[in-house]
């Protein structure tokens, strides 16, 4: 009954745990992302916002927070920062005076496109050991995990 060893350490309870492996793998991608664009002051969370607003201009803060499954209170500081960087702007909605419609500035569009390329390069240079088929399978499986939760 010899155990799962690495550097002489027994990882029995963690080795086959998806939650643990997902956490470790996510940390790796966080590092890769940071190397790709930490210099720009953009974190994965901020990039998510840019990506959503880029392709869906005019959404409210709450709509973006729903799209990314984060609390809407988290949007305030994030949008404040992106507005300070002059890549996103809040425009008052005519239909609903409570809410803002979010748009990328011209600078923000170019910025987002550049970040998208940089992150793609950084990630693909790193996960090129995955075939395109494996990559798709992995993405689909992760999606199934994410969706499985929605129903519960």
Q: Could you tell me the smallest distance in angstroms from the CB atom of residue 36 to its own copies? A: 10
Contacts of 137 (CB under 8 A, 6+ apart): none
Q: Which is nearer to its own copies, 97 or 100 (CB)?
A: 100
3-state helix, strand, coil in the chain (%, to 5): 65, 10, 25
Orientation of helix 44-55 relative to helix 106-126, angle to 10°: 120
Q: Is 116 in the site for its own copies (CB under 8 A)?
A: yes
Judge whether 51 and 116 are in contact, CB under 8 Å: yes
- Selected binder of its own copies within 54, 75, 78, 111 (CB under 8 A): 54
Q: Which is nearer to its own copies, 9 or 97 (CB)?
A: 9
In this structure, the dihedral spanned by the alpha carbons of residues 88, 139, 119 and 83, taken in order and rounded to 10 degrees, is 10
For the chain, give the longest Cα–Cα distance. 69
**Which range in 13-21, 74-82, 83-91, 92-100 contacts its own copies by CB under 8 A?**
13-21
Name which of residues 27 to 86 contact DNA (CB under 7 A): 27, 31, 43-46, 60-63, 70-76, 79
Judge whether 78 and 65 are in contact, CB under 8 Å: no
Please give the residue ranges that form the binding site for DNA (CB under 7 A).
Answer: 23, 27, 31, 43-46, 60-63, 70-76, 79, 90, 95-100
Please give the residue ranges that form the binding site for its own copies (CB under 8 A).
Answer: 3, 7, 9-14, 16-33, 44, 48, 51-52, 54-56, 59, 63, 66-67, 69, 112, 116, 119, 123, 126-127, 129-130, 134-135, 137-139, 141-146, 148-149, 152
């Amino acid at each position: 009954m010899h155990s799962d060893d690495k550097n002489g350490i027994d990882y029995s309870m963690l080795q086959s745990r998806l939650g643990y492996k997902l956490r470790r793998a996510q940390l790796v991608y966080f590092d890769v992302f940071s190397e790709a664009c930490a210099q720009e002051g953009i974190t994965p969370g901020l990039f998510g916002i840019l990506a959503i607003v880029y392709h869906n201009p005019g959404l409210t803060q709450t709509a973006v927070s729903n799209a990314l499954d984060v609390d809407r209170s988290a949007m305030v500081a994030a949008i404040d920062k992106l507005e300070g960087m002059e890549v996103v702007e809040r425009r008052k909605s005519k239909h609903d005076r409570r809410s803002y419609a979010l748009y990328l500035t011209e600078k923000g569009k170019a910025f987002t496109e550049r970040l998208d390329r940089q992150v793609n390069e950084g990630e693909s240079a790193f996960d090129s050991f995955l075939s395109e088929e494996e990559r798709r399978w992995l993405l689909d499986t992760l999606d199934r995990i994410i969706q499985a939760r929605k129903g519960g």
